[in-house]
Amino acid sequence: MAEKYYAHSLPGRPQEEWQLLEDHLKNVAEMARDFAEAFGAGEWGYLAGLWHDLGKCSPSF
């Protein structure tokens, strides 16, 4: 079974309510692309959104 990584965990709340890192990164990437489209850099915005929290993809986090 693959390890699950979380972007946002809520103290005292069940794990089912935590946000998966993959979902968070994709949501932020889409928002960043939308903002960056205004100056012709939508794909760069998407990549920046995908990468912005990669440090959370670590067992030590």
For the CA atoms of 53, 54, 57, 61, the dihedral, rounded to the nearest 10 degrees, stands at -60
d(CA 21, CA 58): 11
Q: What local confidence, expressed as pLDDT, does residue 1 receive? A: 53
Assign 27 a pLDDT band (cuts: 50, 70, 90). Answer: very high
- Highest mean pLDDT: which range of 5-9, 33-37, 50-54: 33-37
Query: What is the rounded distance in angstroms from the CA atom of residue 17 to the CA atom of residue 29?
Result: 21
* Per-residue pLDDT, 31: 97
Query: Could you tell me the pTM of the whole model?
Result: 0.79
Which pLDDT belongs to residue 35?
A: 97
CB 50 within 8 A of CB 26: yes
Stronger pLDDT, 2 or 18, i.e. the higher one? 18
